[in-house]
Amino acid sequence: MKRNAPYLSDHALGRELTAAIAREDVSTAVVLDHIAEYDERRLYRDAGFPSMFAYCVEALHRSEEAAYKRIRAARAGQANELQLSPGTVQAPTIPTPEPTRPIVKPLAPQRYAVQFTMSQEGRDKLRYAQELLGHGVASEDIAQVFERALDALIPQLEKRKFAATSRPRPRSSEAPSNDNARQIPARVRREVWKRDKGQCTFVSESGHRCAERKGLQFDHDLEVARGGEASASNVRLLCHAHNRLEAERTFGPEFMRHKRIAASEARAEARAAARAPATAG
């Protein structure tokens, strides 16, 4: 299949992808071509989405299943094209089967059906929790068991993520932030998380704010390398995709690519050193 999308500008590609999705008589190949190119350029980030999947679901209004299938088909087609390009020799890539995606389906206002696969170990834990609860929860009311488990788990995760506490220490007891600009004090993390409402703060040119709430990172608005401080006014929440986008905008894609390569090599060396047998001194 000859791809035309690589010859479109970023703006034209977004417009054409939206139009292609909207036309009922459009060729599936054209849709996949545009999705592959939009995904490769990571333009979903500029549009205010953390992933191509989120862009297809929220911006293009595809179902989760349809979005997943189209993205996978688009990426597979792109990989095949690379394998058939002149001057390239690559072994065929066989996609790894994905596990069944959990399903969260709204049934009525504030009511949801949840379906997922659980291991035997998880099933045993669930049964044990039901036994411990006794008559506190009806044996068939699994939803209540999970809600209580989440009530216990969330405070632990909040404490680990942004140092949430009901008894914060006085500010004077914390080390001054200028001692290490990269180390964000607990009080700042708490303030930023509350201010940003636990959501990525990236906003696209069209005004769309990224809705991602998973894997958020505390990011310096003015980079530490340029004198930025670890203060609430200079720290924001960004998802991984938009943290990377902002870094590329500031330092350039090539610089960040080399940084990622260096970090990957350092991690590989550390793992190799950890696996190496200790030598006698």
Give the least confident one: 21-25, 133-137, 170-174.
Answer: 170-174
pLDDT(19) > 60: yes
Domain-ending residue, one of 66, 84, 102:
84
Domain-ending residue, one of 84, 116, 135:
84
Q: How confident is the model at residue 268 (pLDDT cuts 50, 70, 90)?
A: confident
What pLDDT score does 95 carry?
A: 44
What pLDDT score does 266 carry?
A: 85
Distance in angstroms (rounded) separating the CA atoms of residues 59 and 248: 24
Residue 14's closest CA among 2, 25, 49? 49
Please tell me which residue, 134 or 195, carries the higher pLDDT value: 195
Whether 108 is covered by a domain: the verdict is no
pLDDT tens column, 96-150: 445 567 788 888 888 888 888 999 999 999 988 888 887 777 767 888 889 999 9
Give the least confident one: 3-12, 96-105, 244-253.
Answer: 96-105
Give the least confident one: 169-173, 233-237, 247-251, 255-259.
Answer: 169-173
Domain membership of residue 246 as a residue range: 177-269
Q: How confident is the model at residue 173 (pLDDT cuts 50, 70, 90)?
A: very low
Whether 181 is covered by a domain: the verdict is yes
Domain-ending residue, one of 63, 84, 105:
84
Distance in angstroms (rounded) separating the CA atoms of residues 273 and 262: 16
Whether 147 is covered by a domain: the verdict is no
Whether 252 is covered by a domain: the verdict is yes
What pLDDT score does 48 carry?
A: 97
Instruction: Give Cβ neighbours of residue 22 (< 8 Å, ≥ 6 apart).
Output: none
Residue 244's closest CA among 253, 236, 232, 233? 253
What pLDDT score does 93 carry?
A: 43
pLDDT tens column, 32-71: 999 999 999 999 999 999 999 999 999 999 988 899 999 9
pLDDT(177) > 80: no
For range 173-186, the mean pLDDT: 64
Whether 28 is covered by a domain: the verdict is yes
Q: How confident is the model at residue 209 (pLDDT cuts 50, 70, 90)?
A: very high
Distance in angstroms (rounded) separating the CA atoms of residues 158 and 192: 13
What pLDDT score does 242 carry?
A: 97
Whether 265 is covered by a domain: the verdict is yes
Whether 254 is covered by a domain: the verdict is yes
Number of domains in the chain: 2
CATH of the domain at 225: 1.10.30
Enter the pTM of the model.
Answer: 0.65
Whether 197 is covered by a domain: the verdict is yes
The residue type of 52 is M
